[in-house]
Structure 1
Amino acid sequence: MNFLAHLYLAGSNKEIIIGNFIADTIKGNKFDHFSKDIQFGIKMHRRIDTFTDSHPIFRQSKRRLDDKYRLYKGVIIDLIYDHFLAKNWSQYADTSLFDFSQEVYQLLEKNYAILPEKAQYLIPYMSKQNWLYKYKSLQGIGEVMHDMNIRTQGRSKMNEAIVDLKDNYAIFEKDFTCFFKEIENYSSTYLKNHDCKNNK
């Protein structure tokens, strides 16, 4: 799962949202200086990644990609799934994607001082270019893939993956729809268990 999915699946607790956002910028277990809910968000992010990477539908999606992408297949499918979440946003959330995106940027900027340096570095670009909303269109997701390829110095060939997406659009969307029902249920249960423990 990429940024949008993780932020959406984190629910409404602001500190859990922050934890989900910063998880990839933290190594190992060096996060006990954060609040309990931020720590939970970090752990939740990692559980979601484990669930996703081992899921047969996600693996099936990766097999649909050309072998030239090699180790970057998972990252590309993460982006493709975020595209379909953004495109079909109204089926999953009551608030608009634009409003959700702005609320996330504001939350991260408000808590900028406590975020890891790598996360701090991302926020200005993410907000200015409106990454979360940009995922919604083919042009937007194509631009993201292009930028990602530049960041990998051309090794990932991710700029070419927009062609794979267009050529297999309906199939990828079906994969996403089936998979996302399961990751929503998994995440919802994980959040409820956390709430139950805290309310004891």
Structure 2
Amino acid sequence: MNYLAHLHLAHISHTSLAGALLGEYARGSIDQGLPVPLQIGIRLHRQIDSFTDAHPLHLGAVQSLPPPFRRYGGIIMDMMFDHFLARYWSRYHPWALADFIGYSHRQLVPSEHWPPTMITLVQRLKQHRLLAQYESFDGITRAIARIDGRFRRPTPLPRSTPLLRARYDEMELAFLAFYPELLDFVLNQARQG
């Protein structure tokens, strides 16, 4: 799952939104010197990623992509699942998407525990209203294409739009079947502490 889903899942599980994003950057053992809410957020982020990557619906969608896109299938599907979450937002959250994004922006205040890359990410999320762009097909395909810049060598991601258009319906069905299971998993993890 990508940023919108991690923030959504942190909110509904009453865990740290900052910790949910910090999980993207924390490597190895969780730093016991971090505030406990951040530690919990990192742990939940990792559990969400493990659940998602191993789930047959997500895995099947990734493996069904043709070369050369399959190599980047995890990225593509995580982004597309964020797109579908934005499109079907009212099914999964009582607030309007715009209200939730505004709330998230207010909650994500940099601290000394954030790496510089996360500070930059949050600044970009706020300045360019990136999460709001995920709702439209054009917005999500632009976001996927921009990921190419994070790699040392060119990727096929900027050329993925025709593939995403052709596979859109099956990706949507996979998301709609998958996300309720992920919600149940996250709420169970939160209850277990």
**What TM-score bracket applies, with the shorter chain setting the length?**
over 0.9
Counterpart of 1:10? 10
User: What pairs up with 1:160-179 in 2 under 5 angstroms?
Assistant: 160-179=159-178
- Give, as a single letter, the amino acid of the residue that structure 2 aligns with 1:27: R
Q: Which moved more, 1:36-45 or 1:3-12?
A: 3-12
2:138 maps to 1:139: yes
Q: How many pairs are equivalent?
A: 193
Contact in 2 for aligned 1:14/1:107 (Cα 8 Å): no
User: What pairs up with 1:114-125 in 2 under 5 angstroms?
Assistant: 114-125=113-124
Instruction: Tell me, in whole angstroms, the C-alpha distance in 1 between the residues paired with 2:102 and 2:161.
Output: 26
- Give, as a single letter, the amino acid of the residue that structure 2 aligns with 1:127: K
More helix as a share of residues: 1
Provide Cα deviations, 1:57-114, integer angstroms capped at 9, x if missing partner: 11111123221024311011000100000011111111111111111112112x4443
Relative to structure 1, is the Cα distance of residues 90 and 12 closer, same or farther in structure 2, using a 3 angstrom cutoff? closer
Contact in 1 for aligned 2:86/2:97 (Cα 8 Å): yes
Contact in 1 for aligned 2:10/2:16 (Cα 8 Å): yes
Give the TM-score of the pair, scaled to structure 2: 0.93
Contact in 1 for aligned 2:83/2:140 (Cα 8 Å): yes
Q: Extract unaligned runs of 5+ from structure 1.
A: 195-200
CA RMSD after TM alignment: 1.7
Offset at residue 144 of structure 1 (A): 0.3
Q: Extract unaligned runs of 5+ from structure 2.
A: none
User: What pairs up with 1:88-127 in 2 under 5 angstroms?
Assistant: 88-109=88-109, 111-127=110-126
Provide Cα deviations, 1:105-163, integer angstroms capped at 9, x if missing partner: 12112x44432222112111111111111100011101101211233255331122222
Instruction: Tell me, in whole angstroms, the C-alpha distance in 1 between the residues paired with 2:6 and 2:164.
Output: 21
Using the aligned pairs only, state the percent identity: 28
User: What pairs up with 1:12-161 in 2 under 5 angstroms?
Assistant: 12=12, 16-109=16-109, 111-153=110-152, 155-161=154-160
Contact in 2 for aligned 1:48/1:187 (Cα 8 Å): yes
Contact in 1 for aligned 2:13/2:186 (Cα 8 Å): no
Offset at residue 29 of structure 1 (A): 1.5
- Give, as a single letter, the amino acid of the residue that structure 1 aligns with 2:58: F
- Give, as a single letter, the amino acid of the residue that structure 1 aligns with 2:143: V
- Give, as a single letter, the amino acid of the residue that structure 2 aligns with 1:178: A
Detail structure 1 runs of 4+ shifted over 4 Å in the superposition: 12-15
Give the TM-score of the pair, scaled to structure 1: 0.90
